[in-house]
Chains A and B, each alone.
Chain A
Amino acid sequence: MKKIQWKFILAGLLLILPLAGCVTDVPAPSSSSAGTANSQQSRLDTVLKRGKLICGVSGELPGFSFVEPDGKYSGLDVDVCRSIAAALFDNPDAVEFRKLSAKQRFPAVQSGEVDILSRNTTFTVQRNTELNLDFAPVIFYDGQGLMVRKDSTLNTLASLKNRSICVQSGTTTEQNLADQMRQRNIPYTSVVFDDVNITFGAYTEGRCDAITADRSALVSRRSSFQKPDDHIVLPDLLSKEPLAPAVSSGDPRWSNVVKWTIYTLINAEELNIDSKNVTQFATSNDPVVKRFLGGEGNFGKKMGIPNDFAARIIKHVGNYGEVYDRNLGKQTKLKLDRGLNNLWNKGGILYSPPFR
């Protein structure tokens, strides 16, 4: 009897032991590259070798990232990843999308499960420095807002005194709301869910008098309500929410590729180059255009990617204006004004550093 027990215990331990050992023995290739800032081992090489990009998105926000009925992803966040794939592989479809909830997203980039997080994520100092993420340039300047039912008497933040507000956890939203209400001394009840569909479901079922999220997210989700017109987004702005893609920090080669992909989108609009006329521009004599499209100089090569990456991006995905109009503009259900997200010389604050 006793002997048998011993054997079982020993066998069990011997089973666990190699398991414990092998985790340490095999260094995760991704994490070691993230830790060292040298150029031989970059996520860029991993992606190039793999032949496709792994991109973390929400998948629940029409206009930003959403799965269409035909199974294809679409949206602004999605097009950022498609642009990178176009630059690297001349193929905007060489992307594998991973759906990530608000709380899953950071561990997913940190552990290297995704190459890039392109998921309506606010650029904050804490995420940058404590979570060790490198943010690419902002692709959408947003702010937090509140949505209420039109037939309610609620019209300002102050009118929400003692009312309940639905909010998704794992977001900047949760904290901003508490900050703003505390500062204004307005007592309220928060109802917190971890799933975006449940959060909005509870609001539409009438559990909460209001729901708070990034304004773009409110408009986006409202567009898929049964009766979108019954809900209004209040004018109050609770915070600044600059949304930007992020990669794991400590890998300058990779973060540079992401960074200049986004500047390519903006610069193309500044130069009036779009997906239709890019082939004509390819033969332009303007040195600025030539350098940008890779006809002259070797920016791309030095970054370790094809020299004509900008031309590829514009050809396959378009410039920032095209991407915006296609996903969020007037012809879409969202009808978001460009506002701050216009070029610096058209009333917005988008600005690309020079390609020189």
Chain B
Amino acid sequence: MPKFWRIALQGLLLVLVVGTIALLWHNLTANLQQQSSQTTRLGFDFLREEAKFNIGEAAIPYQPSDSYGRAILVGLLNSLKVIAVGIVLATTLGVTAGIARLSNNWLLQKIALFYVEVLRNIPLLLQLFFWYFAFFLSFPKVEQRLQLPGAIYLTKSGIWLPWLQATSATGTWLICWIIGGVGAGFILYRQRQTLRPWTVLQAGAAIVALSLLALLITHGLPLQFDVPQVIDNFQIQGGLKLSPEFAAITTGLSVYTGTFIAEVVRSGIQAVPRGQWEAAQSLGLSPNVVMGTVIFPQALRTILPPLSNQYLNLAKNSSLAVAVGYPDVYSISDSMNSQTGRPVEAMLVIIVTYLTISLTLSVLINLYNRSVQIVER
């Protein structure tokens, strides 16, 4: 193609793109103006107004007198909590089930098959209602709480677990550990070519030494156990409280996404050539070592790209939280929308939020993906 045409076509494309966006924008504002005369101007000033509604659970202090902006932030943190925990649980479940599906153990294989085929074919929303109503709300009330060994309480109002809590010494410990970690990293980096047990020991010693230093300074441990306690018949305090709403959305999302991850893992493992299995086995390696050090690392290259799709799905599906009453960012923006009558702004906030979450996730996974791919020289 001659150079002129290439440039002209680029220009035409640009005009088309800009033109389309401008038209859509014009439409939006024109329709808004028609619909509700003078009062509704697009704008985000209202985010500074008082939110006036309560939020059931918040990771940062929040009161109804705080702004809509802060309410959205609370919702965002709640969403991130679900997404983070969900990704860890779904991956664990999925990898286990995926490997189990290829197991020689008949029962294990059938259980994994049953899990994958049943749960990935039932709509997620139904599963969420199941977890919420038939599982987490079927626990007894706080008065008749169910206690498991180790101070775990199961109730309709939530689940309480013992948890680690920061102490006054946490800060000092953290600083020492960071210094120790950087030191250890430096030692390991310099000796990268000749990674001998000796260097690893040196690096370990750096961390231990700084831990001892921290102990000397603070006379305290970095974290302490926080055990839930029954205050009166109706209240449990302390420890880590998981609300039934959080438990339902996280369990539902993890179990559902886990089925898809299981399939991704299974196909990834099956894509590793048979020769690799045979070679590893003929070296006399035990089945666990074959899987752990020969097959899985190679399968990882095939697994990662579709796995990242599953993570993105999990992140976006977390917006179903509102169905089981969990105050995620979507639910908060919904409340905000109906109080302020600003559907377009609320929608934009949501779009930008999910786009940011999804793009960040994909960048992270892509970076990791690049690091495990074969580097061709």
Contacts and interface: CB of A to CB of B under 8 A. Distances in A.
A194 B331 contact: yes
Contacts, number: 139
B65 A106 contact: no
B37 A191 contact: no
Interface in A1-18: 2-3, 6, 9-10, 13, 16-17
Interface in A256-294: none
A28 B31 CA distance: 9
Interface string A131-150: 11000000000000000000
Contacts of B69: none
Given A192-B325, A201-B133, A182 B335 contact: no
Interface string A11-53: 0010011001101100110011011000000000000000000
B189 to A, nearest CB: 43
Given A31-B31, A190-B54, A182 B157 contact: no
Contacts of A10: 13, 16
A157 B53 CA distance: 17
A103 B156 contact: no
A178 B337 CA distance: 17
B34 interface: yes
A107 interface: yes
Size bracket, chain A contacts: 35 or more
Size bracket, chain B contacts: 35 or more
B20 interface: yes
A131 B37 CA distance: 10
A132 to B, nearest CB: 5
A3 B9 CA distance: 11
Contacts of B52: 175, 178-179
A13 B31 contact: no
29 contacts: A10-B16, A13-B16, A16-B20, A17-B23, A24-B27, A24-B30, A31-B35, A102-B338, A107-B343, A126-B339, A126-B341, A130-B341, A170-B338, A175-B53, A178-B54, A182-B65, A189-B56, A190-B54, A190-B55, A191-B56, A192-B325, A192-B331, A193-B323, A194-B331, A202-B132, A205-B137, A206-B156, A207-B157, A207-B325
Interface of A: 2-3, 6, 9-10, 13, 16-17, 20-21, 23-24, 27-28, 31-32, 34-35, 102-103, 106-107, 110-111, 126-127, 129-132, 162-164, 166, 169-171, 174-175, 177-179, 181-182, 188-195, 198, 201-202, 205-207, 250
